[in-house]
Amino acid sequence: MPLNAAQGATLNTEVIPGVSVGPITATTSYKDLVKIFGAERLTDVRPPDAKETEREFGTRINLGPDWSLTVVWQDKTKTKPYETIEMGRGWKLPADLRIGMTIAELQQKMGLFQIVGLGGPYGGIVPLTDTKLEPYFGKIIVQLAPKQGADKKFPVPYKAVSGERRIPSTDPNWKPLEMTVKYLVMLFPKK
């Protein structure tokens, strides 16, 4: 993807879990983002999952629908990233992970897996342990969500896969809920 057509620069879109998201590493600061992407593409944001009592700081990098992403900072100094969230479909993640993948597509990439039951703060998270993606445990978070309104349209299956417990991806109650990957988070090591 051209980073800046006038400059002819190309954006590295490869994600190396725990190491880098394209040119962004654990030591990238806000000032570095300005140099890499240009100040006009950066917007300060509050991460969508931030609690009212938390002081989380984020920077949205506006690169169009396929390559935009948000950097969440370790603190207000914006000198060390904590994680990247809201990554567009253009980013190249291991096993071709992407927003919108279905349970069946995930099973093709990582084998059978478990999903944390719905309804709590960890609902829909896929624990990577005991899967082909186990090497990325603690470096990537994959979270699924049901199709909007599925809880009302299919209350019995929804209730059957609710609660803080691990449920096999093969459980038939997932199917009517049309679960897809809603969040992909890449974590940086804290230093």
Determine which of 7-21, 118-132, 167-181 has the lowest per-residue pLDDT on average.
7-21
Residues 6+ apart with CB under 8 A from 154: 176, 177
Alpha carbon of 2 to those of 98, 99, 100: distances in Å? 21, 22, 24
0.75 surpassed by pTM:
yes
Query: Rounded CA gap, 86 and 96, in Å?
Result: 16
Asked if the model's pLDDT at residue 29 lies above 90, the reply is yes
| Tokens, residue 185 | 């988070």
Radius of gyration of the chain from its Cα atoms, rounded to whole angstroms = 18
Q: What is the pLDDT of residues 56-69, one digit of tens each?
A: 789 999 999 888 99
- Paired with 43 in beta bridges are 60
Per-domain boundaries in the chain: 2-85, 95-187
Contact call for residues 44 and 58 (beta carbons, < 8 A): yes
pLDDT > 90 in the chain, percent: 71
